């Protein structure tokens, strides 16, 4: 009874406060609102773009204010977003660990951004590609294999030529990445769909042994089979001279990538030749 009354009162209060939470929600100003609007427009942004975006929002709405530390700035906004079941999520690109940010739904049943941009048969094509990617060893699905499933699509009949264009549309909208005729998930898709993927494909899904997040591309131990993201491998093995599997202690047979550091000059990703051989060894 008391609870009902108190709950009701809390609800009619300013909606910025999360229900029943003892943590005080942050305060939204136009700086934060413009930031959210622009982040929504772009879908996903790399960290350096996010910092520029933040500074831009301050310049427009609060020229004299001190620019808050990015992590606090985002946590502040997230505390307000909590009651809307969305959050600004930080992830990293699976190939070289560049930090990226996207606005994602916390509930998987919510209206999806993809669903509004694509037709029924296009969404089904994406689903087919997604399943192939998740089932694969390398995290990549070949264009040929995806296109061979064109006859099984729901909705209006789609020709292979058309399907090729649709796959390109997915690449342009940052849902898929293409490399040498093969497709994998863009970091945006991983950020937005991780929960959905884990719930829908609990048996096929791969998890990183270090960060315990969804894994699409990575390296695996040839002895015990555990998998790790490339940036997680880089961080975990950074100080060690002789890399060993964290699970079975066997020698780690793969090339250890470098930790992402925007200040340091380095080879921007492995060269084409070694990349191919790397991928065939990585599982």
Partner 1 sequence: MLQKPESEALPILQAEGEKDGGRDGETQALTASQKEVPSPLLQETPKEDLGARREEGAAESALTPKGVRTLAAKALARRRAYRRLDRTVAELVQFLLVKDKKKSPITRSEMVKYVIGDLKDLFPEIIARAAEHLRYVFGFELKQFGRKHHTYILINKLKPLEEEEEEEEEDLGGDGPRLGLLIMILGLIYMKGNSARETQVWEMLRRLGVRPSKYHFLFGYPKRLVMEDFVQQRYLNYRQVPHTNPPECEFSWGPRSNLEISKMKVLGFVAKLHKKEPQHWPVQYREALADEADRARAKARAEASMRARARARASASERAGIGPW
| Residue among 41 and 242 whose Cβ is closer to partner 1 | 41
Helices (H), ranges, the chain: 2-12, 30-42, 47-61, 70-81, 113-117, 120-135, 143-147, 160-172, 187-200, 230-237, 272-281
Nearer to partner 1, 126 or 252 (CB): 126
Closest CA to 122 of 74, 168, 88: 168
CB of 19 or CB of 274, closer to partner 1? 19
Tell me whether residue 13 or residue 151 sits nearer to partner 1 (CB atom).
13
- For Cα atoms 13, 19, 24, give the angle at the middle one, nearest 5 degrees: 80
Nearest approach, Cβ of 250 to partner 1 (angstroms)?
A: 33
State in angstroms the smallest separation of the CB of 226 from partner 1. 25
Contacts of 119 (CB under 8 A, 6+ apart): 155, 156
Q: In angstroms, what is the minimal distance from the CB of 197 to partner 1?
A: 10
| Helix, strand, coil content of the chain in percent (nearest 5) | 45, 15, 40
Task: Please check whether residue 85 is in contact with residue 107, taking contact to mean a CB–CB distance below 8 angstroms.
Answer: yes
Nearest approach in angstroms of CB 245 to partner 1 is 30
Please tell me the distance from the alpha carbon of residue 39 to that of residue 67, in angstroms, as a whole number: 17
Q: Rank residues 19 and 280 by Cβ distance to partner 1 and give the closer one.
A: 19
Compute the least distance from the CB of residue 241 to partner 1, in Å: 25
């Amino acid at each position: 009874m008391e609870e009902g009354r108190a709950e009701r009162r809390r609800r009619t209060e300013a909606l910025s406060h999360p229900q029943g939470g003892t943590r005080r929600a942050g305060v939204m100003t136009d700086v934060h609102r413009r930031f959210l609007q622009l982040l929504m427009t772009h879908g996903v942004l790399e960290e350096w773009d996010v910092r520029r975006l933040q500074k831009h929002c301050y310049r427009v709405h609060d020229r004299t204010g001190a620019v808050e530390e990015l992590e606090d700035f985002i946590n502040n906004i997230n505390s307000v977003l909590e009651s809307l079941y969305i959050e600004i999520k930080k992830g990293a690109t699976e190939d070289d660990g560049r930090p990226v940010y996207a606005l994602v739904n916390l509930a998987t049943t919510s209206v999806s951004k993809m669903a509004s941009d694509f037709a029924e048969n296009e969404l089904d094509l994406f689903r087919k590609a997604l399943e192939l990617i998740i089932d694969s060893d390398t995290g990549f699905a070949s264009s040929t294999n995806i296109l061979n499933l064109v006859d099984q699509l729901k909705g209006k009949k789609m020709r292979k030529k058309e399907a090729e264009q649709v796959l390109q549309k997915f690449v342009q909208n940052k849902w898929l990445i293409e490399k040498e005729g093969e497709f994998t998930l863009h970091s945006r898709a991983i950020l937005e769909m991780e929960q959905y993927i884990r719930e829908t494909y609990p048996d096929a899904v791969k998890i990183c042994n270090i960060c315990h997040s969804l894994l699409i591309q990575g390296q695996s131990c040839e002895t015990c089979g555990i998998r790790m993201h490339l940036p997680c491998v880089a961080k975990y093995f950074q100080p060690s001279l002789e890399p060993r599997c964290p699970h079975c202690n066997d020698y780690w047979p793969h090339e250890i990538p470098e930790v992402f550091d925007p200040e340091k000059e380095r080879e921007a990703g492995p060269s084409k030749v070694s990349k191919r051989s790397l991928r065939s060894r990585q599982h």
